[in-house]
Structures are given as C-alpha cells and as structure tokens.
Structure 1
Amino acid sequence: MNFMDISKIFSLLQPDKEEEDTNTGEKQALREAVHRNDSYTLDQLLRQECYKRFINSRSGWGVPGTPLRLAAAYGHLDCLQVLLAHGADVDSLDIKAQTPLFTAVSHGHLDCVRELLEAGACPSGSVYNNCSPILTAARDGAVGILQELLGHGADPNVKVKLPVWVSNITSFSGPLFLAAVYGHLDCFRLLLLYGADPNYNCTDQYLLARVPQPRTLLEICLHHNCDPEYIQLLIDFGANIYLPSVPLDLDRKNDKGTILLLQARATPRTLLSQARIVIRRAFCQANKPQAIDQLDIPPVLISYLKHQL
C-alpha cells in the first residue's frame, strides 16, 4: 500500500462537512427503523428528501456505518431491499474500509449476500481492505455464500494483502489453505471447481522472489492431518505431486494421505485424467470455469469434467 492508497482511504472515510454540522435526528431515525427491521417505516422515511439525503451517511457507536451496513449486519433483508430500492450505495465503506457485502458475509447472512450481489456489489469487497469476503467465507465454511461469491466472479486465488516483510505468511493465506486447515471439505472442492490453483503458492513469481521454497498445499494438508479426500482432490485437479518433499519416516509411512501421494507418484496419470486437467485449465484461464456445461458433448463427459464421476 503506497501513500496514494492511504490518502484515498482517508478521503473516502472523511465525513462531509455538511453532515458534521447537521442535526443527527434524521440519521438516527433511519438507524432505528433498520434496527427494528421496520421496512415500512424505513420506506416512508426515505420518501422524504430530508431523510433520503442521509441514506449513505455513517453513524452509530463502535464501527460507524451506513444504514445498509447495519441491515447487512443484522440480516434484515426487507430493510436492505428498501435501502437498495431507494438508491443506497451498495459498496459504501465503513471506517474499516469494509463494504456491506463483507459485513453480510462475516455474519453469515446468505439472503443478504445474494441480494447485494444481485444489486451489483463487488464480490471482492473493497480494494482498501486487507481481507476479502471469499477469504472469510472459506474460513467459516459458508459454502452457500462461497458459491454466490464465486458465481459472481470472486477470485478463488485471492490472498490477504500484507506487507512484503510478511510474504511467508501470505503464502498460507489463500482460500484453499483456509478451507483445508479449518476442515471445510465442501468449500475446498468448490474452490477447485471454480479454478482455484492447487499449486497457488508455488507458481506466484512475486511470492517466489521472496519465499524461494514455500510449502505447497499438499504439504500443508499432510502437516495438518487433513482427511485423505483433500489429498485426492488436489491430485485429481492437477497439483504437482513432485513439488512437496514428503518425509518417509516411521511416523508417516502408514498415513493415508501420504500413501495416496506416493501411489500417485508411482502411477502415471491416465490420458483421460490428463485431458480433464487440460480442459478445465483452459476454461479457468478464460475465466469461464462453469462454461463446461455448454460443451456439445455427452452428459457423462460433462459430469466427468465437473468431477461428478
């Protein structure tokens, strides 16, 4: 983050002088309507210009935010819909540079997440925040929310924004890593289906310049004693099985994940498996991982390409 980024954040979060000098009664009325989940009163207030002018104003104790952020935090879908219908800024920021979508994801409100995305919310959250909605969903195991985010274009390989001096931590911060170490197999599989790179921390040249030998996902899954299904998914989705250095000591030789990896190393991939990896990789490079359904091929092959067989 450079000086321009910091200046931009402060300019975005700076309250308008006009708002500072205005009585807060109107803003409080909007907040109270949202707090009570009183969408009718909220709608009536926003039909009056004296209230509508504060629709994107931040207020409240703790983390001041807009009425839309408050509705997203409480999961008050009706109020959220009213605010959006009256023109609320779908990507407004709170003082932590978090959007209403990020708030809805953090609180696990799937309906609000879906509504905000349909209204045009950025699935990646704010560029001025170090985290992102998809990282939060992967960590929490919110597979429904993760599906919505990925379906609206969220990057399955996003990383936490951290300074250069903590690059080694960055290598362990992707959605796949979080889904694995927190034990969310369904999220792990979904991320791979949407193009998450099974070698993500071993192909990033920017990272490799600072961390010459980052630990691969295969190593991480073995280290954290993840279920063998994680290892098998990484193998099936084309992870480089020769990257990790697997310790072949007496404590690990009977580990199911290690056995799977060693068997994969000893047995060449079938032509069918290699073809699936290449085809899926091509669709992911085109940012259309779900376009496989549109291929003019037998349904059984489509199911195979989607790892449903």
Structure 2
Amino acid sequence: MLRHGSFVFSATALRSMQHDEDLLERHNHQRRLASRRLTASYMLKKEARSMHPQASGSGTTSTSAVPTAVCQDMVVQNALYTGDLEKLGELFPKGSRVNFIVDLREGDMRWVARGEGLWSLTYEQELTTPLHITAGRGFADCLRLLLQRGADVELAPGGGGTALHEACESCQPECVKLLLSHGADANAVSEDGLMPLHVCTLRESFECARQLLQYGAAINGRSVDEQDTPLHVAARSGLPEHTDLYLRYGAAVDRPNAEELTALGAACGHPQEAHRLRFYHQVCRTLLAAGADPGALDRDKQTPLHMACKNANADAVDLLLAHGAAVNDMDYSAEAPLHKILKVACYKLAHEPERVVRSLLNHGSTRVWPGALPLVLKHCCGSPRTIEVLLNSYHRLKVTDAWVEAVPPEVFKEHQDFYESLFSLAGTPRSLQHLTRCSLRGILEGRVHTVVPKLPLPTAVQNYLLLQFRGYVH
C-alpha cells in the first residue's frame, strides 16, 4: 500500500541515489583528510630535501615540516595569476608557507553521466598550486621566488601532474629549466599516466623537451594507458624537430604502443589539416631515414600507407611507396590503400586526393572492379580530377544512365565540361591515343613510375603516360 504523495523508486533510481550519497560522503571525508594527507606528503619531501639540501635550490633546510593548507585568499591568487613579483615578495617573506593548494572551484557540483540514463551530482574541483600557476604562465621570476622559499616541486594536487607537467604543456622552457634545476623529477607520472615528455605536443615545446632529456627524461618511457613513447607523441603531433631530437637521444623507432602502432603509423594515421600536411611528411621522412618499417601493421592490419591514404597526404604516400610500401596489401576490412583514398576524396579536396590515386595507380595498384565504378562516381564526383585519373587507367568504359544519375545536378553544373566529356563516351570507344597509353602502361605494369621518366620522350608525353590531369577524358 502506497502512502499519499509517495511513489515507487525503480531499482535503477535507488542505485543512483545511493551512488550520489556515497559520493557526497566520500567528498566530505576527503576534504577533512586533505590537509593531513598533504602534510604527510610535504613531510616526506622535506625529509628528502634535508638529506639532499642541494636539490631544494634554497641552500637551507628546515628541521620541522610546515602543514600544507588550502588557499582561498583572492589577493594571493590575484598576485599569482598576474605574475606580480613585488606583491608576492610581500606575501611570502623568508620563512613563510608557500606549499599550499589553490582550489579554483571550491567544490562546485555538476551533473555527470555515469551510464545509460544515469546522472549523478558530482563535486568537480580544480586544484592547483602557486608553482603550477606561475610555471604554466611563464612567470619565471615569481617561480624562482617560490622555489627559493622552499616550494615543493613534486606537489601534485588532486593526483594531477606536477608543475613541470604544467610548464611543458604551456611551452615555458625557462620555467622548465628552473624546476629541473631545483630537483623536479623529469619522469614524474601524472594522474593520466603521462610523463613531462608526453605533454610536449606543440612546436614551441621543443626547448622544454631538450631540457627534459638533458636532465635524464626516459626517452622510451611509456604512457600508462596508450603505452605511447615520446616518439609516438611527437609523430602524432606532427613535430619533425622533436622527432629528430628523440631519435638522436636513442628513441626506439619501431616500438609499438597499445594499438600496435609504431611512430610511423601514428604520424600517418593522425587526422591532418591541409596546412599541416608538410609537417607530417617531414616526420615520416625523418622516421624512414632512421629505419622505420613502412610495412608495420597495427591492430587492424593497416600499414602506414593505408593511413596516409586515408588522410590524403600525397607527399607521405609518395615517400612510403619510394621506401617499398606494398601498394596492394589488404587490411582487416579487406581494403587496399586505393579504397581508403576513394572513400575520403570528396571530403579532402584541399589535400589534392587525385595525387594519391595517381601515385597508387602508377605503382601498380589493383583497380576498382568496373561494375563498381558508378558507386565510386557517386561518392567521388565532387573531385573530378580523382575520377579522371581513375578512369584513365581503363581501356574501355561502359558509360550508362547509372553514371549520369550518380552525379547530382549541382555537381554536374560546377564541373560541366569534365562530366560532359565523360558522358559523351556512352556507346563509343576510347581514343586511339588513350588506348596506346593503356597498352604501354600494361607492358610496364608496376614500373611506370620508374621507367617512364627515363624514356627519351617529351615531358608532355611522359606526363600523359603518368596520368597527368587534363580536365577531360577522351
């Protein structure tokens, strides 16, 4: 019997309410214990510094540990965030407490999804320290002051990264050097399982990475979850200078990560904007020159060539093919590199996907089954050059109404000259000139790209044999 105004909770709702109650109780308990935990951590660090006074950088040691507190003083926070050295000097005279936590959110609650249809109220805290704030913003003078006052370089509030992680991620080499010279661990692991080298993901972080390596950072250290080495990170981020630096320090060029990706695979497989293609090409060139395997397979049996084609990086494709990448290898989905580029050609127009198709065909790629050409036309019609290159590798074409229907009216209008030349082939043979080209290419098979440039032929004829674009088919 239900009482008036009551209703039955489902088992799912009851579990969610109990989960929220547990979270709130845990949060309150953690806040009560936070000061004691941080004090214990500080005492351990203080003891270590007293055994090795040179590591503190202050030149003095203390026999008693000072408890770490939580700071909510906006005057202190404002001085830290603005880099006000004079004010910090007043706030932190010699002997003052500098190891404290800054709670930026003060325990704000937010709804968080924790499963299908389950939402929970969860405390979201953003904890940091004076070292994190000053190091991440490049306030080197303020950072030096805090270090001279005995700030703990290894303090990582909330289990996150250290101030060294913050400085590396923000590309602050002077702060990185200061922290390292005051005993910061170059191989400290953050809550996310990353070492400082793993967060050097921008070109501007090069000097930070160099400093880390000089202070003993593990060149082949792995991230906890992805098992990435710094070389994977540099390759995935398109950082040729970092890649070269890591290789000079002895990085393992073909070490796979958790997805069985080598650094070369990581470089080829990461999404690449058109203006950054050249950086990924440079990374690939550096890795291949260091002996990277162009045929290394990932978990899905994809080679770097599959991935470079999927990203429509024509220069990287040419480079991989020049280093012996297999043009017809199939991945786990039974797709060859040509399939990969045809799938994305219409979405990668700025990447010049037709160059990739041309290189693959000149290196002996197996062509698309003729019966599937209308489907290819439907997906790639927005890139007429891609269609031109592909169709010029066939002796004959059976152009039907299905071909015409595959091209939307707006695309036909935009590229009218090309599609009129294509549809005019309905019921007619290809030109004698084209048939001669196909015969010569058939004789040379997969050697077109090496033999044709050596033949004593005019450049225009060589380009024609190599499927150069003309804007029409005949």
- Partner letter of residue 439 of structure 2? T
Residue 246 in structure 1 maps to residue 380 in structure 2: no
Residue 111 in structure 1 maps to residue 241 in structure 2: yes
Structure 1 residues 97-135: Cα deviation after superposition (integer angstroms, max 9, x where no partner): 111122223333332222112222123344444333323
Question: 2:4 aligns to what?
Answer: none
Superposed counterparts of 1:1-309, under 5 Å: 23=45, 25-27=152-154, 28-35=162-169, 37-47=171-181, 51=183, 54-59=185-190, 61=191, 63-72=192-201, 75-96=204-225, 97-139=227-269, 140=272, 141=277, 142-161=280-299, 170-171=300-301, 173-201=302-330, 214-222=334-342, 224-225=344-345, 227-240=353-366, 244-247=368-371, 255-263=387-395, 266-269=438-441
- Partner letter of residue 119 of structure 1? Y
C-alpha distance 247-276 of structure 1, shift in aligned 2 (>3 A): closer
Structure 1 contact 198–237 (Cα < 8 Å) conserved: yes
C-alpha distance 89-200 of structure 1, shift in aligned 2 (>3 A): same
Question: 1:11 aligns to what?
Answer: none
Structure 2 contact 187–217 (Cα < 8 Å) conserved: yes
Structure 1 contact 30–42 (Cα < 8 Å) conserved: yes
User: What is the CA–CA distance in structure 1 between the aligned matches of 2:221 and 2:355, rounded to whole Å?
Assistant: 40
Per residue, is there more strand in 1 or in 2? 2
SS at match of 2:219: coil
Structure 1 contact 98–125 (Cα < 8 Å) conserved: no
User: What is the CA–CA distance in structure 2 between the aligned matches of 1:67 and 1:223, rounded to whole Å?
Assistant: 38
TM-score by length of 2: 0.42
Greater CA deviation, 148-157 or 128-137? 128-137
Question: 1:292 aligns to what?
Answer: none
SS at match of 2:294: coil
Structure 2 contact 186–217 (Cα < 8 Å) conserved: yes
> 1 or 2 for the larger relative contact order (CA 8 Å, sep ≥6)?
1
CA shift for structure 1 position 33: 4.4
Question: 1:15 aligns to what?
Answer: none
- Partner letter of residue 193 of structure 1? A
CA shift for structure 1 position 93: 0.9
User: What is the CA–CA distance in structure 1 between the aligned matches of 2:343 and 2:168, rounded to whole Å?
Assistant: 46
- Partner letter of residue 154 of structure 1? A
C-alpha distance 75-106 of structure 1, shift in aligned 2 (>3 A): farther
Q: What 5-or-longer segments of structure 1 have no aligned partner?
A: 1-18, 162-169, 280-297
| Structure number with larger C-alpha Rg | 2
CA shift for structure 1 position 57: 2.4
- Partner letter of residue 245 of structure 1? W
CA shift for structure 1 position 217: 3.1
Q: What 5-or-longer segments of structure 2 have no aligned partner?
A: 1-40, 47-151, 155-161, 347-352, 378-383, 396-434, 457-461, 467-474
Structure 1 residues 1-60: Cα deviation after superposition (integer angstroms, max 9, x where no partner): xxxxxxxxxxxxxxxxxx9x9549333343354355443454455456xx26x322212x
| Number of corresponding residues | 240
CA shift for structure 1 position 245: 2.6
Structure 2 contact 362–447 (Cα < 8 Å) conserved: no
TM-score by length of 1: 0.61
CA shift for structure 1 position 233: 1.3
**What value does the CA root-mean-square deviation take over the aligned residues?**
4.1
SS at match of 2:307: helix
C-alpha distance 225-65 of structure 1, shift in aligned 2 (>3 A): closer
Structure 2 contact 198–229 (Cα < 8 Å) conserved: yes
Structure 1 contact 219–246 (Cα < 8 Å) conserved: no
User: What is the CA–CA distance in structure 1 between the aligned matches of 2:376 and 2:235, rounded to whole Å?
Assistant: 38
Structure 2 contact 309–317 (Cα < 8 Å) conserved: yes
Structure 2 contact 169–201 (Cα < 8 Å) conserved: no
C-alpha distance 249-270 of structure 1, shift in aligned 2 (>3 A): closer
CA shift for structure 1 position 247: 1.9
User: What is the CA–CA distance in structure 2 between the aligned matches of 1:252 and 1:65, rounded to whole Å?
Assistant: 43
Structure 1 residues 218-246: Cα deviation after superposition (integer angstroms, max 9, x where no partner): 455455557443333123223355xx533
SS at match of 1:195: coil
